[in-house]
C-alpha cells in the first residue's frame, strides 16, 4: 500500500557561497540565481549572477554569446557549466556556461531595482524587492550572524532560550505607547454594545519581554529571548521603529549592577569578534573602516569604562561650562541625558563604549532596584545604559526590585494597580531571588556594527508611523 | 576622569548543571536555587535544590541541622559547601552544606506550587509560577533544544535566519481569523470621527510569515524564521493557541514537492536525533517510552512514506467500507481530511510519519501551485501535509504558484485584491523563481516529542480565547 523509497539526505543544490568555498570544482555544476548585470562583447558575454548567499556573486562567462541572449537584469536563471579559475580581475573563479535556463523573466525597463544606485526612499517604497540589492542582502546576513553569535554566547553561559508572549495584559514600561488589539467583531451583539474582548480583558502588543522573563528567571535562573517588541511611537527618528526586535536577558542570583555590565559587555564582545572572524561579507552596506575600530573595542584588555550618572553629569557640566555652545540642553543632575549628551560621553569622554549607571529613580521604570545600601545615593536606582559612539544608547538594564514592600511602594508611586501586577508581586512573595537583566535593541546593534545610520535599513521589512507596505 | 579596570570574562557562578558535569569538585562551591523539598531528621537534614538548569536538582545535606531551619519549600537560597560523592540512592553527588543564606522567603502554607501533584488547571491559573514545576521546566528546555537543533540544521543547509514583520496589512491565509490592531486614541480628533490608523491602513497580526518569506527567498534564495503567529481561533482544542510559534522555511529554485518533503523530513530527523543524543532531561514531562519510537523514525533508513491525497482517500474509503463504524465522517475525494482520518493514516496505515501530497485546490490556500503538468490531476495543487501518530497534522507546505497569470487567476477566485497583493504579484513579475516551503507548528512539535497532549502546556505562557493572565 505504502511504498518505501531510499532516504535522500539533501535535495538542495549548492549555493554560490558553497560552490566558491568548495575545493573540487571540475565537475559540471548548476548555478541558480538572479542576473545583476550583463555585458555583451562580440565573441563573449559576461553576466554577474547572485543568489544572495554571498556578496561576491559569481561571474558567468558565455563563449557562445547566443546563450546570453535572453538574460536581462533581474531575471532568474539556472546555468550549467564548469567552474574555473578566472583570468579576469575581481574574482577568483568564474562559471563557463554551457547551458542556460531562463526561470523568471524581468522586463528591464520596468524593473524597480535598476543597476545604478537607488535612493533609500525608492527602496523603502519597494521594500518587497529591496533585498535584491547588495546593501540590504548584507544587512540581512549581518542580522543572521549577530543573532547566531548572541545565541551561542548565552548558550555557553548556561542561559535557556525562551519565548515570551507578544500579546500582553500590561504596558511594561508604563509609557502609554503600547498598541492595543481590537476586540474581534461579534455578529451576535447589537452594534451599540461594546464587543467582547477576545481574551476577556484588554490586550496589548508587548513593549518589552522583561516582566515575563522575570517570571521565568525566577524558576530556571537564566533566560534570554530575541523577540519582537512594539511601540506606537510617532516620532520619525533614525533610531525608532514601531516594530523592532530586542535581545533581552534576565537572570537570578545577581546582586550587583556590575554583573549586568559584565554579561552585556561579554555578549557584545563576542558578537563583534565573531563578525570580525567570520570573513562574512557583512560590511558592504557600511563603512569598512569601522570594522577595525569595532574589533579594537572587542579586543581591548581593559573592561569598557563604567561611570555613575552623577559622575557623567559632572563631566557634562564641566564641559558645558567651558564650551557653552556645544549642547542645546544644559546638563544637570535630575534631568534626562539627551542624545547629544550620550554621544558626547561615548565619543569624546570615553572614546568607545561606556556604561552609565545609577540614574535617579524618577527617570527610570518602576521595577528598578533602589540603591539604599549604605554609601549609595538612595534617590538612585541600580541601572545601566550602554552608550556607544555614533549612536548613543544601545542597551539598558538594571537590577530588578526583588523586595516586595519596596516594589509595592514604587507601584503606588507609578500608579500601577495590583489587579494587573499582582502576579509580578507574587514573584517576590514566593521565594523571589535577587535578579537583573538587560535589553539590547537589535536594529541599533546592526546599525552600530554596519554603519547604516537609519534603523529602517537595519530590518528587512520596516514599520513606522504611517508606513506598512506589505 | 574615566578609570579603567581589568577585564572580567564572566561573573556568573556555575549552575547546578555545570557543577554536576564538572570533574573538579573539591573546592568549596556556591549553589543558588530554590528549595523543592526539605526532610529533617535528628542529626541530619536534607533539601532538594533546583535552579532549573537540570531536572535532577542537587541534594543538599546539613549535618548541622540548625542550618536548615529557615528553609521551606519554594524559598530561594545560596548555599556554600563541598560537592561530594553521595552515599545515598538517586544521585551521584551531593552538597555538604557549611553555610546558608536565605535570599527569598516563601510561606509554605500560601505557596501555590505545592509538593504534591498539581492539576493542569491549577498550574494554568498560576502560569507565572508554573515554570517552578519539573514538567514545565522540562518543556521549556525542550523548546530550547528543538529551536537550537532546527537553527543548526537550516544553517548547515545554507539558509539565512530572517525576521519577518508581525504587524501586517493582509490576512495571509484568507481565513478571517486575524487579530486587528486598534487605531490609537487620537486626542486631536472629535470623538465622533474615526481615529486615524497608525500605519495609514488597517493592520493585523500575522497568521503566517510565508508571504513575507517569499519576498526574501526571491532575493537571498534560502530563508527561515521561528516567529510568533496569531489566530483569533475560538475553538478550545488540544492543538490550538491564539498565539503560537511557527518554524517556516522558504527557498527558491525548487520545482518538486518531493524537495519540500525532503527538507522537512531532514529537519525533523535532525531535531529528533539531537534530542536523543543530548542526554538532556527533556522527557520528564512526557512518556519516556516515546523516545525510542521517535529515535526509530529519525534513524529509519528509508524515507518517510509519501502518498497523494487521492491515494490516501482511496485507502480511507476501503477501510471505511470494511469497518463503517470507525469514522464519524465518511472519507471522499474533495472533502477535507478530518483529524480522525489523519490519525488513522499515520497510526494505522503508515505506523509513523506520513506525507500526504497533492490536495484538491479548493481545500487549500490561494498561493499553492497548480498541478498542470502532463499526467498530473489539474484539480490539485503541489502541496503536502505531514501527519504523525498521536497528533495528526504537524506541518504543511507547498510549491508556491510562481506563474503570474495563474496566481492572478487564483486571486480572483479567492476574492483577493491587487491593491493588497500587488507586491506579491511583483515577486513573480520581476524574475520570480520557482520556490516552495513549509510551516511547522512549534508547539505541536513539542507536544509530539514530549508526549504532552495539550499545546497549552507546550509554551511557557499560553494564550487562548478568554485566557491571558499576565
Selection from A215, A10, A399, A206 nearest residue B181 by Cα: A206
Selection from B268, B161, B152, B264 nearest residue B213 by Cα: B161
Same domain, A364 and A430: yes
Asked if residue A119 belongs to a domain, the reply is: no
Q: How far are the Cα atoms of A7, A140, A275 from residue A449, in angstroms, in the given order? A: 43, 13, 9
CB A36 within 8 Å of CB A50: yes
Where would I find the beta strands (DSSP E) of A10-92?
28-40, 45-50, 58-62, 76-85
* A54 in reach of chain B (CB within 8 A): no
* A34 in reach of chain B (CB within 8 A): yes
* A35 in reach of chain B (CB within 8 A): yes
Record: contact B165-A461, CB cut-off 8 A: yes
Residues in chain A with CB shorter than 8 Å from the CB of B103 are 253, 433-434
Asked if residue A8 belongs to a domain, the reply is: no
C-alpha cell recorded at residue A310: 552623577
Where would I find the beta strands (DSSP E) of B317-402?
354-357, 383-388, 392-400
| pLDDT means over runs of 10, chain A (470 residues) | 75 90 77 96 96 91 97 98 87 93 96 90 96 93 96 96 95 73 70 72 94 97 98 87 97 97 98 85 57 91 97 98 96 97 97 98 96 95 97 97 96 90 97 98 95 93 94
Selection from A29, A41, A40, A13 nearest residue A94 by Cα: A29
What is the structure's pLDDT at A313? 98
Which residues are registered as beta bridge partners of B334? none
Record: contact B305-A2, CB cut-off 8 A: yes
Phi/psi at A54 (nearest 5 deg)?
-150, 145
Last residue of a domain, which of B55, B80, B111? B111
Record: contact B182-A179, CB cut-off 8 A: yes
Record: contact B158-A12, CB cut-off 8 A: yes
Phi/psi at A249 (nearest 5 deg)?
-125, 145
Residues in chain A with CB shorter than 8 Å from the CB of B200 are 466-468
For residue A377, the tally of other CB atoms under 10 A from its CB is 15
Q: How far are the Cα atoms of A5, A85, B49, B296, B354 from residue B395, in angstroms, in the given order? A: 21, 43, 39, 20, 11
What is the structure's pLDDT at A23? 66
Of chain A residues 250-279, which have a CB less than 8 A from chain B? Answer: 251-254, 256, 258-259, 262-263, 266
C-alpha cell recorded at residue A304: 569598557
Asked if residue A9 belongs to a domain, the reply is: no
Q: Which helix (H) or strand (E) holds A244?
A: strand A243-252
Record: contact B148-A155, CB cut-off 8 A: yes
CA A95 to chain centre: 36
Long-range contacts of B258-261 (CB under 8 A, 24+ apart): B258/A11, B258/B306, B259/A11, B259/A12, B259/B436, B260/B384, B260/B397, B260/B398, B260/B399, B260/B436, B260/B437, B260/B438, B261/B303, B261/B304, B261/B306, B261/B355, B261/B357, B261/B384, B261/B386, B261/B397
Q: How far are the Cα atoms of A155, A276, B145, B287 from residue B275, in angstroms, in the given order? A: 16, 32, 7, 14
Record: contact A12-B263, CB cut-off 8 A: yes
Q: At what angle do helices A257-278 and A442-450 cross, to 10 degrees?
A: 50
Same domain, A191 and A304: yes
Record: contact A7-B302, CB cut-off 8 A: yes
CB A36 within 8 Å of CB A57: yes
Residues in chain B with CB shorter than 8 Å from the CB of A204 are none
- Chain A: closest CA distance from residue B84 (Å): 22
Q: Which residues contact A52 (CB under 8 A, 6 or more apart)?
A: A33, A131, A137, B160, B219, B220, B221
CB B201 within 8 Å of CB B189: no
Residues in chain A with CB shorter than 8 Å from the CB of B220 are 51-53, 131, 137, 140-141
Asked if residue A431 belongs to a domain, the reply is: yes
Same domain, B25 and B80: yes
Asked if residue B469 belongs to a domain, the reply is: no
CB A222 within 8 Å of CB A263: no
What is the structure's pLDDT at A4? 76
Record: contact B162-A155, CB cut-off 8 A: no
Q: How far are the Cα atoms of A73, A327, B434 from residue A77, in angstroms, in the given order? A: 11, 55, 10
DSSP codes, B103-123: EE---TTT-SS-SS---HHHH
Same domain, B96 and B215: no
For residue A201, the tally of other CB atoms under 10 A from its CB is 13
Residue in A52, A180, A301 nearest the CB of B219: A52
- Chain B: closest CA distance from residue A467 (Å): 5
Nearest CA in chain B to A35: B431
Last residue of a domain, which of B111, B146, B163? B111
Q: How far are the Cα atoms of A58, A138, B164 from residue A283, in angstroms, in the given order? A: 18, 7, 22
Selection from B464, B426, B460 nearest residue B446 by Cα: B460
Q: For Cα atoms B148, B141, B130, give the angle at the middle one, nearest 5 degrees.
A: 145
Nearest CA in chain B to A403: B104
Q: Which residues contact A116 (CB under 8 A, 6 or more apart)?
A: none
Positions of chain B with pLDDT lower than 50, given as ranges: 285
**Greatest Cα pair distance in chain A:** 88
CB A285 within 8 Å of CB A457: yes
CA A170 to chain centre: 24
Residue ranges making up the domain that contains A389: 131-457
- Chain B: closest CA distance from residue A366 (Å): 17
Asked if residue A463 belongs to a domain, the reply is: no
Same domain, A229 and A325: yes
Record: contact A165-B426, CB cut-off 8 A: no
Residues in chain A with CB shorter than 8 Å from the CB of B350 are 2
Predicted confidence (pLDDT) per residue in B281-309, tens digit: 555 545 566 788 899 999 999 999 999 99
What is the structure's pLDDT at A189? 55
Same domain, A44 and A140: no
* B176 in reach of chain A (CB within 8 A): no
Selection from B413, B318, B313 nearest residue B361 by Cα: B413
Record: contact A222-B463, CB cut-off 8 A: no
* CATH code of A73's domain: 2.40.50.140
Identify from B253, B274, B281 which residue to disrupt to test chain A contact, counting A C-beta atoms within 10 A and taking the largest count: B253
Q: Which helix (H) or strand (E) holds A436?
A: strand A435-441
- Chain B: closest CA distance from residue A14 (Å): 8
Selection from A431, A404, A401 nearest residue B106 by Cα: A431
Beta strands B45-50 and B383-388 are unpaired
Of chain B residues 291-330, which have a CB less than 8 A from chain A? Answer: 300-303, 305-307, 315
Same domain, B97 and B153: no
For residue B292, the tally of other CB atoms under 10 A from its CB is 9
Same domain, A223 and A359: yes
Same domain, B106 and B136: no
Distance of alpha carbon B29 from alpha carbon A75, whole angstroms = 63
Identify from A14, A19, A75, A104 which residue to disrupt to test chain B contact, counting B C-beta atoms within 10 A and taking the largest count: A104
Residue in A5, A167, A301 nearest the CB of B468: A167
CB B237 within 8 Å of CB B202: no
Give the number of domains in chain B: 2
Residue corresponding to grid cell 509554605: B108
For residue B91, the tally of other CB atoms under 10 A from its CB is 14
CB B349 within 8 Å of CB A1: yes
pTM exceeding 0.80: yes
Same domain, B89 and B215: no
Q: How far are the Cα atoms of A42, B124, B401 from residue A63, in angstroms, in the given order? A: 10, 69, 34
CA A141 to chain centre: 12
Q: Which residues contact B84 (CB under 8 A, 6 or more apart)?
A: B25, B93, B94, B95, B96
Same domain, A138 and A105: no
Asked if residue B319 belongs to a domain, the reply is: yes
Last residue of a domain, which of A111, A146, A172? A111
Nearest CA in chain B to A442: B163
Selection from A241, A280, A262 nearest residue A149 by Cα: A280
Residues in chain A with CB shorter than 8 Å from the CB of B35 are 431
CB B316 within 8 Å of CB B332: no
8-state DSSP, B193: S
What is the structure's pLDDT at A437? 98
Of chain B residues 67-126, which have a CB less than 8 A from chain A? Answer: 74-76, 78, 103-107, 110-113
Q: At what angle do helices A210-220 and B134-156 cross, to 10 degrees?
A: 110
Same domain, A252 and A303: yes
Q: For Cα atoms A26, A32, A35, give the angle at the middle one, nearest 5 degrees.
A: 115
For B76, how many CA atoms within 13 A lie in the half-sphere containing its CB? Answer: 25
Record: contact B163-A170, CB cut-off 8 A: no
* B132 in reach of chain A (CB within 8 A): yes
- Chain B: closest CA distance from residue A25 (Å): 18
Q: How far are the Cα atoms of B21, B397, B457 from residue B33, in angstroms, in the given order? A: 17, 44, 23
* Interface contacts (A, B; CB < 8 Å): 406
Beta strands B435-441 and A28-40 are unpaired
Asked if residue A262 belongs to a domain, the reply is: yes
Record: contact A11-B262, CB cut-off 8 A: yes
CB A340 within 8 Å of CB A334: no
Record: contact B76-A131, CB cut-off 8 A: no
Amino acid at each position: 500500500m505504502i511504498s518505501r523509497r531510499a532516504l535522500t539526505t539533501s535535495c538542495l543544490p549548492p549555493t554560490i557561497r558553497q560552490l566558491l568555498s568548495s575545493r573540487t570544482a571540475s565537475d559540471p555544476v548548476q548555478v541558480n540565481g538572479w542576473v545583476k548585470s550583463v555585458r555583451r562583447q562580440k565573441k563573449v558575454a559576461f553576466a554577474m549572477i547572485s543568489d544572495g548567499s554571498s556578496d561576491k556573486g559569481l561571474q558567468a562567462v558565455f563563449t557562445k554569446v547566443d546563450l546570453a541572449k535572453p538574460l536581462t537584469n533581474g531575471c532568474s536563471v539556472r546555468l550549467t557549466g564548469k567552474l574555473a579559475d578566472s583570468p579576469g580581475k575581481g574574482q577568483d573563479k568564474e562559471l563557463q556556461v554551457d547551458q542556460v535556463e531562463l526561470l523568471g523573466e524581468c522586463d528591464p525597463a520596468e524593473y524597480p531595482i535598476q543597476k545604478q544606485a537607488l535612493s533609500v526612499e525608492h527602496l523603502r517604497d519597494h521594500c518587497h524587492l529591496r533585498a535584491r540589492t547588495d546593501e540590504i542582502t548584507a544587512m540581512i546576513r549581518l542580522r543572521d550572524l549577530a543573532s547566531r553569535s548572541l545565541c551561542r554566547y548565552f548558550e555557553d553561559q548556561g542561559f535557556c532560550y525562551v519565548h515570551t508572549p507578544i500579546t500582553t495584559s500590561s504596558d511594561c514600561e508604563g509609557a502609554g505607547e503600547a498598541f492595543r488589539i481590537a476586540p474581534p467583531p461579534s455578529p451576535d451583539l447589537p452594534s451599540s454594545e461594546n464587543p467582547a474582548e477576545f481574551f476577556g480583558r484588554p490586550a496589548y502588543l508587548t513593549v518589552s519581554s522583561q516582566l515575563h522573563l522575570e517570571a521565568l528567571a525566577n524558576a530556571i535562573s537564566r533566560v534570554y529571548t530575541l523577540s519582537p517588541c512594539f511601540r506606537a511611537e510617532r516620532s520619525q527618528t533614525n533610531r525608532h521603529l514601531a516594530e523592532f526586535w530586542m535581545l533581552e536577558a534576565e537572570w537570578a542570583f545577581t546582586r550587583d549592577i556590575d554583573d549586568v555590565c559584565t554579561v552585556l559587555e561579554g555578549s557584545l564582545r563576542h558578537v563583534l569578534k565573531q563578525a570580525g572572524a567570520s570573513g562574512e561579507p557583512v560590511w558592504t552596506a557600511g563603512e569598512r573602516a569601522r570594522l577595525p575600530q569595532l574589533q579594537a573595542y572587542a579586543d581591548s584588555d581593559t573592561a569598557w569604562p563604567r561611570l555613575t550618572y552623577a559622575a557623567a553629569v559632572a563631566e557634562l557640566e564641566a564641559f558645558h561650562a567651558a564650551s557653552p555652545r556645544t549642547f542645546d540642553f544644559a546638563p544637570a543632575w535630575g534631568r534626562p541625558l539627551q542624545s547629544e549628551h550620550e554621544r558626547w560621553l561615548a565619543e569624546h569622554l570615553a572614546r568607545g563604549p561606556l556604561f552609565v549607571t545609577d540614574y535617579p529613580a524618577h527617570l527610570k521604570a518602576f521595577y528598578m532596584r533602589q540603591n539604599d545600601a549604605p554609601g549609595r545615593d538612595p534617590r538612585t536606582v541600580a541601572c545601566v545604559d550602554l552608550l556607544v559612539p555614533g549612536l548613543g544608547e544601545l542597551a539598558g538594564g538594571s537590577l530588578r526590585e526583588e523586595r516586595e514592600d519596596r516594589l509595592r511602594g514604587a507601584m503606588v508611586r507609578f500608579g500601577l494597580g495590583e489587579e494587573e501586577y499582582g502576579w509580578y508581586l507574587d514573584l517576590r512573595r514566593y521565594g523571589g531571588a535577587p535578579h537583573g537583566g538587560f535589553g539590547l535593541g537589535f536594529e541599533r546593534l546592526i546599525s552600530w556594527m554596519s554603519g547604516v545610520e537609519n534603523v529602517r535599513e537595519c530590518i528587512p521589512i520596516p514599520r513606522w508611523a504611517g508606513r506598512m507596505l506589505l
